[in-house]
A and B are shown apart, each in its own frame.
Chain A
Amino acid sequence: MNPVRFAVRNRVPVNLLMWSLVLGGLFSAFTIRREFFPEMDSDSARIALSLPGASPDEVEESLGRKVEDAVSDLDGVEKVTTILLEGGGSVIVKFEDSGDISKHLDDVRDRIELLQDLPEEADRSRVMELKAHIPVIQVTVFGEVDEETLKRSIRSVEDDLKSSPRMGSVIVSGARGYEIRIEVDHVALLRLGLPLTAVAEAVTAWMKEVPGGTIRAADGQIAVRTMGVEERADRIREIVVRADSDGRMWRLSDIATVEEGFVDDETSEKFNGAPAAKCTVYKGVGDDAIDMAQFVRGYVAGRRGEPSGAGWRESIFGGPRLEGFALGMKRGPLPVEIRAHNDLARIIDGRLNLLVDNAFQGAFLVFLTLLFGVNYRAAWWVMTGIAVAIFGTLLIMNVTGVTLNLLTMFSLLIVIGMLEDDAIVFTESIERVRVVEGLPPEEAAVRGTTKVMWPVIASVMITIVAFAPLGMVEGAMGDMLGELPIVVSIALFVSLLEAICMLPSHIAHSMMRIASGKTWWLDRALAGWDRWRDGTAWPWLERKYRLLAEWCVLHRYVTVSAAVSLLIVSLALVAGGQLPFTFLPTDDTETVVVDLRLPLGSSVERTKLVGARVEAACRSQPEVAAVTSLYGLRIDWQTAITDAASGNIAQLFIELHPIEQRDRHSNEVVDSIRRAVGGIPEVEQLTFSEVSGGPPGEDISLEVVGDNIETIREAVALIEDDLRQFKGVLAVSDDDFDAAPEIQVSIKPSAAALGLTPAIVARQIRGAIHGIDAHVHTADREDIDVRVRLDHATRTRLDLGTNMWIVAPGGTITPLCEVADAREGAGEAVVRRIDRKRAITVNADTEMGTYPELVVEALAGTLHQIATEMPGVDVRMAGKQRDRADAFSTIPYAAGAALLLIFAILAWLFGSYTQPLAVMAAIPFGIIGAIWGHIVMGYELTFLSLIGVVALSGVTVNNSLVMVEFVNAERHRHASLRDALVAAGSQRLRAILLTSITTVFGLAPLVFEQSFQARFLIPMAISLCGGLLSATFLTLLLLPSVLIIIDDTKALLRRVWGMPAPRTIATDE
């Protein structure tokens, strides 16, 4: 049985299906997970290396290279990146596909296990999945209080947040750990002839708890344990470090101070200048960012005793904000200030709401447009079909785990303008059949639908195929865009289902009601409008079109030449740089991360001085709401890992006021901050990163790899010199940080006379400078070290390495300089490798108005020079340049595949090899409108614009497809192809204009959106709208010309080869 006929005759199951989709979609709309960008599957494994005390060079030679060699030849390895620091490092293995990361992890672990001849001192290497963490929101406690209060407060907040199942990972920063410090007077040590190692050994020995076993007697069992000294400063002070034969005992209190306190490191954190600690909530797989942020905001409001801020809906139905608020109220106020800030989820919410608003506006415009084409009942059912399709899409998305994010929301926005296409075609066909053939409503619905069903199915398939290339784009862009074709396909499929199964039933029902006289006041009110529309407006339009079409057909070569010229000129504007292209425009953001690095060896006080200057520059901007400063520490906000801890580094998190309260883009604010900071000569690196949730990276990023580090540095210098000459290129830097100052100690052979060995000397030196962890115990949920080291004044002397005295095994004290040679040297601070070669990455930012792509293009001369003069050095794109290259490398193949599929579908539909070519000829002309649309709207071309052009191909073809179908139908009734073309065009004019204009109007609100929130997506919308307008115009006027030219060519070829003319109806008649 014909499904259309079944649906028309059985309204109940049809309506049940419709309501199922609607209700299911409504439920999904409230429960679907929301995030900013789609989750990108992890495709990397991280191998953590540990070789305590080793320099980066040693780690490279003894550990790093071996691990690299072991994993580089695994199946599917795309890239191996190695970062080696003092004491260890990481090897990141990136795989080509993210399909089964667990299998890749197992492979890596197996290879690591098989490694032999590793240094004995090396700790076991750990293999783990490298996941990207996106920060959602931060909670900071701050105030002029003691550190203990601050730590207890942030612990309390951390525990509360972690208690909720909604939370991802919560990372605390700014709260130092505890330790028990034993600071030994070095003079006292020498007086006693006692090395520091002996003190540490004494502490270890006395603090050890040793289980003694269990006495098993007849009357019972009892366990015995030897207790160590209690882990308290007053007890530890009594530990005996030396006992003489005359009974004299030396206790720790005699030679050292013992204190319980915080770890003596250089890290500190401030919030708007006050001591602070914070929790950063990161989103994990499966988490809803908006729910997380709302929970946190509610919790903070509860702890502050403020109103919850929940809306009416949440007040009735409950929600995460109220849950958090209840928890916060229950816990009560803190002795410090607490504040939630850097809320990335707010941006998600804002943008999703913006798109929802745009969707409603677009839908309204579509409805108005439909009223110009069809009667209000048909328009109503078309809109109903759109709603059913949207809800059905949401339902399927929720079931299959596709989240509601910026891209999927945009997909829905695009399809709103497309979903009605099939409904319009069906509606118009049904109407025409009813009027022309005079069939009853049900029969007219069935016949009208069946008549155009296959062309519509073909056009839907073509649209799906046109979007499919987006799923094949490689790199970070591919990960982002991967869900777009899925959502579009789902929506179009549901829409097609609705158009075939539900729409005819509803249209038939409406026509039956009209036929039976069951009309109401709206019918009467709009009757005049319908008459004017169908009797005056459209006939007039069709006449004008006919005249224009005839002229174009008559002057077909001029028409085609003009169109081709216009295309060439449009392309020239892009090729000539009049319409700039930027791969990914910098999105406006509310969080900026500033990374500050001074030369290695700089004191934290010096770093704070410089950091204060940067902070002042930030605060001088009215758009800055708050500044969080982190000194002595750097957190990679993408992975939530502390990747550096040193006195010479600092990190500032700048929170800007909400986007809608600002007049300036975050880029402009950052530029102002840069200018306010000015040049600080002693700064090694000062970078600004805007946290937007999208692909990270500087604007310009180039990897220079090779075997010889000095040659690589020469190449880097050339590139950096070249970059600095461009205006608008800022913060040119690289990750080849300064060499670490080093005192290299070599033991003299004469040291043996004192019983000294290099190991003994090394341990004393290390103990003096670094300290010795004599004992560790767990208390208050953290590991607490008991650390023995020299007093602060002694161990912070830079000449300690040369002027210290050591204790020989017999107790004799001797100057180190007499038993060892000390040389001021330099070691590598960091060793970076890519694919088993040394690498340095050059980074730079650009001001607004400076296009990174142009700058990279301008570097071609320098890159060629490097390739020629330094054959061992290879320069590769990285960061956004790499993403661009990955994306562009696959787009041609993907687009080509899509075009082939489109051709196949059309060839099957038309039964011809040449007509598909004529239909697809409209595709390039869509580019004209896309380009001029950008020029008129004042936007530059972006990668999303190109995506829009690719997607446009499917939409463009649909108009031509239906027109050619009608041409083929009309061809049998006209002797002249020209007449058939003009007649077909006239018949399809309304349908073609309606489908195009509704698509354009569906996206129009987004195109004209002024908010920064939407800027990221607008270029894609412009491509679709502009391209569709030009393609529609050219389809109506150019396609007939092209078809006749093809016919002319066939006739010429027939004449040349002496073949007979084809038979036509006119010929037969």
Chain B
Amino acid sequence: MSHRESGTSSDELSRSEAAESEPVPANHTLRRAIICLILLGGSVSLFGILLVNRPMPPITDGATPPQRVPVVKALLMEVPRQWTGFGIVEAVASADVPARVGATVLEIPGSVLAGAQVSAGDLLILLDESDFARAAEAAQEAMLSIDASLTSLDIEEKSLSERLVVLSKEQEIAQADVLRVSRAFEQGVANEREVEHARKLELAAESALIALRQSAMLIAPRRQELTAKHNGQQAALARAQLDVTRCRIVSPLDGVLQRMDLEVGEAVAPGSMIARVVDPRAVEVAVALPASARESVRVGDEVQIVDGDTVIVGGQVARVNPEDDSLAHTMTVWVDIAKSDASGSPLAPKSFVEAIVVTREQRQRTVVPRRSVRGERVFVVESEELRALPVVVAYTYRGEIPQSGLADREWLVLELPLPSGTLVALDGTRNYQPGAKVLAEEPGAGVSTK
């Protein structure tokens, strides 16, 4: 291919070859070298300057804003201790009404039904009294007979005493006669047969006197016996009369007829329970508490009978059982439930209830929300700095503490008190860093606390 074809003329080639073959002046070379050095040096310098001064991410103005920590002032107060126990409600006044006589049920008033209100003295059941009435009559007759016997005995006694006088005189005569005869015998006036006869008369009179005296002496025992019989019959009469009255079974107290199991015509045996009357207005609860509550429970402590979170009724500890149940590890207290109005106690006797005994604590203790304790430590804010503080929990408290300003219902009472006014972080659940600068925010400062 020719140059012409390539589009380059020979003149141009010559000019270019000539230009290329011409030596470059030294000052041109120097100038170009300087330009190259300036260009390269300047760019490298600029690279270094920009690298050294490269912008870093902007830092926040001033110090990092402190972390906001919701806190609450640790409360130093007497925090009652709550012991949860269970027990059975018993009516203070109740009676199982037994039958005291064996008889047949004659009548049951129509108003007498289980659950009915009864007053003391109200007729519950009428038993058949006829047997007892007849027994009373028999006793009366017997008494009359005895009275007659006693009267006879009086007459006899009087007669005996008269006869005793006579017989005494006869004996005296007989004795005198014996003396006379004896003197006579001695005198030989009388014979032995006369003496013996006089003596026989004397003996006879003495014997009669003795016999009479014996009869007279028997009057008293006979009188006693009759008197005893009389009394016996009198007692029998009284008994029979009592049995008659007992055939009328009445309510021993005001209350509610809890049970009435009999029907007319049914035979009852003495001692069998025929009804139970309960006065629901006054009840008490035998509450079993943990044995370790003994150290703090006292007579007079407030008790709440609860159903879940609802307090049904209140009461007080009336008595404390001195002995524990070693098997169940419990102690028992009896709780008097406050008397309610005429409508009755809200607690039904024999019901099984849950009770919370609130014991008084004399000591001032620190109480904190449960959520502020985690892993046996709390975080406190001192001088805007966070500090971890180990704590020991004495016991728990459930309920609102209005003075805290929180709606929390679960609290922990610390064994050792914190200084009053200590700011405790509300949420011990946060992984706070001890020593961190923080801003404490108390409830009501726009912080959601629950």
Binding site for B on A (CB under 8 A): 187-188, 190-191, 436, 555, 557-558, 561-562, 564-569, 571-573, 575-578, 599-603, 606, 609-610, 679-682, 684, 713, 717, 721, 724-729, 736-739, 741, 750, 753-754, 791, 793-794, 797-799, 802-803, 805, 812-815, 817-819, 823-826, 850-851, 854-855, 858, 970, 973-976, 978-979, 983, 986
Contact = CB atoms under 8 A, between A and B. Distances in A.
Nearest to A188: B352
Nearest to B36: A561
B441 A681 contact: yes
Nearest to A852: B57
A825 B376 contact: yes
Contacts of A555: 32
20 contacts: A557-B36, A561-B35, A572-B43, A575-B51, A576-B53, A599-B430, A680-B448, A682-B70, A726-B58, A750-B329, A754-B328, A813-B328, A815-B85, A850-B57, A855-B57, A970-B6, A974-B8, A975-B13, A976-B13, A979-B13
B363 interface: no
Contacts of A569: 43, 46-47
Contacts of B44: 568
B7 interface: yes
B341 interface: no
Sort A-B residue pairs by CB-CB distance and give the 3 closest, nearest first.
Answer: A576-B50, A826-B375, A793-B308
Nearest to A797: B398
Contact of B43 (A188, A564, A601, A976): A564
B68 interface: yes
Contacts of B396: 799, 802-803
Contacts of B231: none
B401 interface: no
B13 A815 contact: no
Contact of B58 (A728, A794, A812): A728
A754 B58 contact: no
Contacts of A729: 57
B13 A565 contact: no
Nearest to A805: B86
Interface string B10-53: 00010011001000000000001101100110111011011101
Contacts of B288: 813
B47 A575 contact: yes
A713 B431 contact: yes
A595 to B, nearest CB: 17
Contacts of A721: 64
A858 B60 CA distance: 14
B8 A983 contact: yes
Contacts of A799: 396, 398, 410
B353 interface: yes
Nearest to A567: B43
Contacts of A825: 375-376
B201 to A, nearest CB: 89
Contact of B447 (A681, A814, A815): A681
B307 to A, nearest CB: 8
Nearest to A578: B50
A553 to B, nearest CB: 10
A684 B433 CA distance: 14
A824 B16 contact: no
A566 B398 CA distance: 77
A573 B46 CA distance: 9
A572 B450 CA distance: 56
A434 to B, nearest CB: 15
Contact of B50 (A567, A572, A986): A572
B5 interface: yes
A721 to B, nearest CB: 7
Give the secondary structure class of B's interface. mixed
A793 B7 CA distance: 104
A546 B51 CA distance: 39
A558 B412 CA distance: 84
> Which interface class (under 10, 10 to 19, 20 to 34, 35 or more) fits B?
35 or more
A564 B44 CA distance: 10
A819 B50 contact: no
Interface in B37-90: 39-40, 42-44, 46-47, 49-51, 53-60, 64, 67-70, 84-86
A566 B430 CA distance: 55
Contacts of A571: 47
A854 B57 contact: yes
B50 A575 contact: yes
Given A567-B43, A983-B7, 11 more contacts: A561-B39, A575-B51, A725-B60, A726-B57, A726-B59, A738-B374, A793-B308, A823-B376, A973-B6, A974-B13, A979-B8
Nearest to A791: B308
B51 A572 contact: yes
B407 to A, nearest CB: 10
A986 B308 CA distance: 99
Nearest to A566: B43
Given A724-B64, A978-B20, A609 B13 contact: no
Contacts of B431: 713, 736-739
B5 A824 contact: no
B327 A187 contact: no
B438 to A, nearest CB: 10
A602 B49 CA distance: 54
B410 A973 contact: no
Contacts of B327: 753-754, 812
A702 B376 CA distance: 31
Given A569-B46, A576-B51, A681-B447, A558 B32 contact: yes
Interface string B234-268: 00000000000000000000000000000000000
B448 A606 contact: yes
Contacts of B450: 603, 606
Given A561-B36, A565-B43, A725-B64, A191 B50 contact: no
B354 interface: yes
Contacts of B35: 558, 561
Most buried by A among B5, B43, B49, B396: B43
Nearest to B1: A973
A253 B68 CA distance: 51
Contacts of B373: 824
Contacts of A557: 32-33, 36
A930 to B, nearest CB: 17
Nearest to A817: B290
Nearest to A574: B50
Contacts of B70: 681-682
B427 interface: yes
B51 A187 contact: no
A355 B370 CA distance: 60
Contacts of B290: 815, 817-818
A565 to B, nearest CB: 4
Given A575-B50, A741-B374, A727 B57 contact: yes
A436 B32 contact: no
A565 B42 contact: yes
B320 interface: no
